[in-house]
Amino acid sequence: MIRPIYLYGSKVLREVAPEADLTKKEEIAALVQDLKDTLKSSEGCGLAAPQIGVSSRVLIVDGDAVADNYPYLKGFRRTMINPVLVSEGEGRCEFSEGCLSVPGVYGDVLRPESITVEYYDETLTKRRETFDKFGCRMIQHEMSHLDGVLFTDLLAPIRRKIVARKIQRVAAGKVATAYQSKIK
């Protein structure tokens, strides 16, 4: 089911999401399907459960949405339930990010170049993987959502000041999106 994407100013985006209850397999499967349906309809490359109004540590990423610019991401898809950052590489890189919950706002964010994550996949099998390049960026962005952190929080202070008016317009609902959205 396609759900509305919650926009900046929505309380759920600022909450630290609790772990998903792995004993509730049908509930998790339904949430994952809703995330996939919603992401597909929005043409984004990642989505976390809080962005559809569900405070739970579940996220998905889909590299096909950006494969024109990053061909190595063709077919790169992950569903992560209760992801935990195990380690970060020493290198850092800066890249421009945007977010379905903050439409029309972009800015450079400094993040680790590589990360290792433990998580459960959609079959509830525990996995441990190391990610780099833009796949790493997508996963870190979505994991930040699970901790109530938006990419705008990570912008350099001067950039945050520059985009402040746009962010306020989003929070006031004065933004048009090509996908269903709401503020709550």
Q: Which residues are catalytic?
A: 142
Query: What are the residues whose beta carbons fall under 8 Å from the beta carbon of 50, sequence distance 6 or more?
Result: 6, 12, 13, 15, 17, 56, 145, 146, 148
In Å, how far are 16, 45, 70, 87, 130 from 112, measured between CA atoms?
21, 19, 18, 10, 12
Query: Cβ distance 105 to 79 under 8 Å?
Result: no
Q: What are 11's two structure tokens?
A: 């309380």
d(C-alpha 123, C-alpha 121), whole Å: 5
Q: CB 24: neighbour CB atoms within 10 A? A: 12
Closest-CA residue to 45 (of 100, 122, 7, 95) = 100
Residue carrying structure tokens 């994407």: 5
Closest-CA residue to 79 (of 100, 49, 54) = 49
